[in-house]
Amino acid sequence: MVILTLNCGSSSVKYQVYDWDQKTALATGIVERVTQGGSFIKHKSRGKEEYKLEYPCPDHKVAIELIMRTLVDKNVGAIESIDQIKAVGHRVVHGGEKFAKSVRITPEVLHTFEQIQNLAPLHNPANITGIRAAQQVLPKVPHCAIMDTAWHQTMPPSSYIYALPYEWYTKYGVRRYGFHGTSFLYTAKRAAVLLGKDPFKVNLVIAHIGNGSSINAVKNGLSFDTSMGLTPLEGLVMGTRSGDHDPAISFYIMRQTGMKPEEVESALNKKSGVLGITEKWVDRRDIEVAAAEGNERAQLAQLIEGYRLRKYIGAYVAAVGGIDALVFTAGVGERGPVTRRIATEGLEWMGIKLDPEKNRVSMTRNAETCISTDDSKVKIFVIPTDEELVMTEDTYAIEEGTYDIHTNFTYTFQHKDYQNKERMEALPKDIEKWKGLEKILARPPR
């Protein structure tokens, strides 16, 4: 079975085509600047060179049609006919309290997404637009929704209820929902494999660090608490989002400047984080270079981001009563040794001991590594996330009738012999580039 997964943002469509029978990704790509002008597609089919084409995409339907044409192109494509696609999995950022697992999209499900889209006004409308566009382009195949929030539905009320008027929760749904759930699910299950433990007998702290960042406390294999809240704004310092701050600041700035609520909201989401501190950079690689050259703002951004991470790690270790492993994932988590170093400084008393050399050479998205010292009581893993695989596997299982909530379902990547073919093929280049990487590859105990 060939499965297409789509991640539709407000101005982009990220996609993957996966051959379930061969357990292989046939193609990956992204259409950027959708609705904005100057749009283009970047596409990579297995065994072929990356392909890029500028093409006007005034809406998501045109973008998805462009993806379909590219997939069947004789020179750069991956499949012979669109009819080979048998199901589509869609990322949906916010499922509210309605969904604790992935579902097949029906008119009723789509209506529910529309009813709660005000909970994620920057994300869900784009997700819904993408679903409707894909249904028009591929009307004969089933479409499934994989929610970022579903993983966190196991949190207890003490974790998700805010100390606000309770009526705000009962009437308006104001509570902590959490995001990055698909990534946390994957990395939690993989961490259990690497530890050689029952997935429901592990305690973890997982840091998903990228342009958007959040951290997850996992107790007995279930989400217990997480840093993002009603929206993805709360919690860690991010690329352009502020994370935690005094909520009264918004009112103060509005009174001082005359800014409107929507202007302040935009500033907190798009002009804050490390961009707000440096006033120049979002990419942590640029910040790392600038900091090494002595730029004080870049150095400050690194310290603030790392310190916020360290505070959350300490709090979440306390919340779950001790952990088996600390896990870093996503773009910065996977290839950000400076961020990882600052985040773990001074945690030795907790049994969390980072090995500086292992941390330095762990620079790959193609393998899982262990970067803790040999005598560290707590393992420190770097586990490259694979949200697309979770989306694909959920979609396949839904259509086969074998799917259930993750407490009653076993993923293929939970087997100790699981391997990602594409990553294994790409790993030798990373090993050649980063001397010592091969020695820190994390493997399940035998």
Amino acid making up residue 37: G
The answer to whether the CB of 369 falls within 8 A of the CB of 430 is: no
User: How far is the CA of 264 from the CAs of 144, 248, 259, in angstroms?
Assistant: 35, 12, 7
For the structural domain made of 2-147, what CATH number should be given?
3.30.420.40
The answer for residues whose C-beta is within 8 angstroms of residue 417's C-beta and 6 or more apart is none
Query: What is the total residue count of the chain?
Result: 446
Rounded distance between C-alpha atoms, residue 288 and residue 171, angstroms: 45
Radius of gyration of the CA atoms of the chain, in A? 21
What is the C-alpha separation between 426 and 406, in angstroms, rounded? 30
pLDDT of residue 275: 96
- Selecting among 19, 73, 83, 148, the annotated active-site residue is 148
The token duo for 122 is: 């920057």
User: Do residues 38 and 25 make contact, with C-beta atoms less than 8 angstroms apart?
Assistant: no
Dig out the tokens for 172 from the structure: 């308006």
Domain boundaries, the chain: 2-147, 181-384+420-425
**Is 355 an active-site residue?**
no
The reported pLDDT for the residue numbered 11 is 79
Q: Which residues of the chain have pLDDT under 70?
A: none
Distance CA 203, CA 351 (A): 14
2-147 and 181-384+420-425 in the same fold: yes
Query: pLDDT value at position 170?
Result: 95
pLDDT tens for 191-247 read: 999 999 999 999 999 999 998 999 999 999 999 999 999 999 999 999 999 999 999
Burial level of 397, CB count in 10 A (0-12/13-18/19+)? middle
According to CATH, the superfamily of the domain at 181-384+420-425 is ATPase, nucleotide binding domain (3.30.420.40)
What confidence score (pLDDT) does residue 96 get?
84
Which pLDDT value is given to residue 446?
82
Give the pLDDT score at 423: 94
